[in-house]
Amino acid sequence: MMPLNPATGAAVFAAAMLLAAPACTAQNYPTKPVRVIVPFAAGGGLDIVLRPLLQKMSESLHQQFVIDIRAGANGIIGTEIGAKAPADGYTLIGGTTGSITINPSVYPKLPFDAARDLVAVSNVGATSFVMVVHPSLNAHNVREFIALAKRHPGELTYGSPGIGGTNHLAAEYFLQQTGTRMVHVPYKGSQPLIADLVGGHVIMGFDSMMATMPQVRAGRLRAMGVAAPKRSPVAPEVPTLAEAGGPSLTIGSWYGLFAPAGTPREILNKLHAEITKALAIPELRERYQSTGLEPIGSNSEQFAAEVRDDTARWAKVARTANVRAE
């Protein structure tokens, strides 16, 4: 065998190092703090879900996962920043059902394409929505509510935290499935919506257990049903919509992590492994479940499939209801 000349040997060594670099990068990842963009306000649902998870990941990997709040435009501003960041694993993006799967259908000109510019990392957890009404309403279950709405088409009101959000389309999906018509009253966030539901200014709304159950247990709202296949262990006294005489619907919101498209597969796999490890910690699972959030920890392929299915479903609902955000 002929010996390599120095120039050829150097070239071969350099090529070998280039080929090995991604694996080494993934093996040692992360070597510096990781920015996690949350495209909604501090203290909101996504922020509340991600903070304890990222703390556990920081402890495990000995590098900080730092939340960067970039709120605005129903999640569009922060998601765009993340989608255009380098695909090196040092920028992650928090996403929700609304910001990832509904926005493409209700905003005609997004500055990014979620399907093209983002890659799913993991669905951290999901919460089912609860249909709530003011206690004075003369309908004590979903069957009676549907009958009331059909007797007064276009007269009853429902509220949501904003046009084109998950809560808005959840209510529209319910109306489509029940053949009823109501007037939509949009608010700027969940807090003013819940306040007006409690005040009786709007009749009905869909929102998370975190937002609704404290008011339900205080007697200020009536829970008609949970939009899930089975009752929630957090509120076993609340029937499913189907049990209460309505359609069998699964409506809620998930909270997940994404990365810029092109992020190395090895890094995605490592992140998923760390997420599932954190979600297996009893303290963290109990903390989530006490608020109505079910920990999931799906891998990239599983989460990507869920995102595709949800995008198609909500596109149909938005198209049928002619929901478009300005």
Tell me: do 200 and 161 sit in the same domain.
yes
CA 234 to centroid of chain Cα atoms: 19
Residue 300 counted as domain residue = yes
Residue 146 domain flag:
yes
Give the CATH number for residue 138. 3.40.190.10
* pLDDT tens for each residue of 260-318: 999 999 999 999 999 999 999 999 999 999 888 999 999 999 999 999 999 999 999 99
Same domain, 120 and 268: yes
* Position 6 in a domain: no
Residue 170 belongs to some domain of the structure: yes
Domain match, 110 and 62 both: yes
The whole-model pTM stands at 0.85
- Domain residue limits at 216: 128-226
- Higher-confidence residue: 43 or 87? 87
Q: Which residues have a Cβ under 8 Å from the Cβ of 227 and sit 6 or more positions away?
A: 128, 129, 130, 131, 170, 174, 206, 240, 241, 249, 250, 251, 252
26 in a structural domain: no
End residue of a domain, out of 226, 261, 279: 226
- Summarize pLDDT for 47-99 with one digit per residue, the tens: 999 999 999 999 999 999 999 999 988 899 999 999 999 999 999 999 999 99
Count other Cβ atoms within 10 Å, centred on residue 45.
19
**Same domain? 205 vs 257:** no
Same domain assignment for residues 107 and 183: no
Amino acid letter, residue 130: V
Segment 219-266, tens digit of pLDDT: 999 999 999 999 998 899 999 999 999 999 999 999 999 999 999 999
Evaluate whether residue 9 is within a structural domain.
Answer: no
Number of domains comprising the chain: 2
Q: Token match 């247990």: residue?
A: 217
